[in-house]
Structure 1
Amino acid sequence: MIAGRYDDEFAHVADVFRNQIARTDGGAAVAVYHRGRLVVDLWGGVRSLDGVPWTRDTLAMCWSTTKGVVATCAHVLADRGDLDYDERVATYWPEFAQNGKGDITVRQVLSHSAGLHRLNTIIDHGSKMLDWEHMTDALARAKPAYEPGTAVGYHALTFGWLVGELVRRISGVPIEKFVQKEIAEPLGLDGLHIGCPPEQRHRVAPRPPAFKRWSGPFGSFMVNQVSRGAILSRGVEDVLVDPRLLDVAVPAMNGYFDAVSLGAMYAMLAGGGQLGGVRILSEETVRKAAEIQNDQRDRVIMMMTMQWRLGYHRLPLLHKQFPRGFGHFGFGGSGGFADPGHDLALAMVCNRGRGTPIGDLRILRLSQATARAVQSLK
Structure 2
Amino acid sequence: MIEFPHGGWTEDAFAGVARAFRENFAIGAEVGAGVCVYHRGRPVVDLWGGYADAERTDPWRPDTLGVLASPTKAMVAAAALVLVERGLLELDAPIAEHWPEFAAEGKGGITLRMVLAQRSGVVCLDHDPITADHLRAHSPIADALAAARPEWEPGTAHGYHATTFGHLISELVRRRTGRTVGRFFAEEIAARLGLDCHIGLPDPESAHLATMVESKAEELMAGADPGDELAMLVALGDPGSLTFRAVIGSMSLDTAPDPVLENPSYDGLASAQSLARLYAAFIGEVGGYRLIRPETLAETRRVHSTGTCLVTLLPSAWGLGFQLAGGPIFPASAGLGTAFGLAGANGNFTFADPEHDLAFAYVQNGGAREIGDMDDRARRLTEATYQSLGSR
1:292 Cα shift? 1.0
* Per-residue Cα deviation, 1:101-157 (whole angstroms, up to 9, x for no partner): 00111111111111111232x315645652411111110111111110111111101
Q: 1:110 and 1:96, CA in 2 relative to 1: closer, same or farther beyond 3 A? A: same
SS of the counterpart of 2:299?
A: helix
- Structure 1 match to 2:262: 249
Match of 2:331 among 312, 317, 321: 317
In the other structure, the counterpart of 2:342 is 328
- After TM superposition, list the pairs within 5 Å mapping 1:1-378 onto structure 2: 2-22=6-26, 23-51=28-56, 52-120=58-126, 122-124=127-129, 126-127=131-132, 129-130=134-135, 131-189=137-195, 191-199=196-204, 202-209=207-214, 211=217, 222-227=232-237, 228=241, 229=243, 230-233=245-248, 236=251, 238-242=253-257, 245-271=258-284, 274-304=285-315, 306-315=316-325, 316-318=330-332, 321-353=335-367, 354-356=369-371, 360-377=375-392
CA distance in 1, matches of 2:60, 2:228: 29
Which residue type is aligned with residue 177 of structure 2? S
Could you state the TM-score of these two structures normalised by the residue count of structure 1?
0.91
Percent of aligned pairs sharing the same letter? 37
| CA-CA distance at 1:223 after TM superposition | 3.3
User: For the residues of structure 1 that align with 2:194 and 2:147, how far apart are their CA atoms?
Assistant: 39
1:207 Cα shift? 2.3
Q: Compute the displacement of 1:329 (Å).
A: 1.0
Please give the alpha-carbon distance, in whole angstroms, between the structure 1 residues aligned to 2:295 and 2:13: 31
- Say which SS state the counterpart of residue 356 (structure 1) adopts: coil
Question: 1:30·1:42 contact (CA, 8 Å) conserved in 2?
Answer: yes
Say if 2:164 and 2:265, in contact at 8 Å, map to a contact too. yes
With over 3 angstroms needed to count, the CA separation of the structure-2 counterparts of 1:11 and 1:217, relative to structure 1, is: farther
Contact 2:129 2:252 in 1 (8 A): no
More deviation, 75-84/208-217: 208-217
8 A contact 1:26–1:47 mirrored in 2: yes
Gap regions ≥5 residues in structure 1: none
Deviation at 1:226, TM superposition (A): 4.0
**Residue 320 to residue 55, structure 1, CA distance change in 2 (3 Å):** closer
Query: In structure 1, what is the Cα distance between the partners aligned to 2:134 and 2:302?
Result: 31
- Structure 2 unaligned runs (5+)? none
Going from structure 1 to structure 2, the CA distance change for 1:113 and 1:212 (only over 3 Å counts) comes to: closer
> Are the aligned partners of 1:128 and 1:135 in contact in 2 as well (CA < 8 Å)?
no
Take 1:344 and 1:290, find their aligned partners in 2: how far apart are those partners? Answer: 15
**Are the equivalent residues in 1 in contact too, given 2:38–2:277 (CA < 8 A)?**
yes
Give 1:233 shift. Answer: 4.4
Q: Distance in 1 between matches of 2:141 and 2:207?
A: 29
Structure with more helix by fraction: 1
Q: State how far apart, in whole Å, the 1-side matches of 2:91 and 2:250 are.
A: 34
Q: Is contact 1:32-1:39 (8 Å) kept?
A: yes
SS of aligned partner of 1:12 = helix
Counterpart code for 1:327:
G
1:203 is paired with a residue whose SS is coil
Q: Contact (CA 8 Å) 2:204, 2:260: kept in 1 or not?
A: no
TM-score normalised by L of structure 2: 0.88
Offset of 1:296 from its aligned partner? 2.6
Question: Matched residues in 2 for 1:226 and 1:179: separation?
Answer: 32
Worse overlay, 22-31 or 107-116 = 22-31
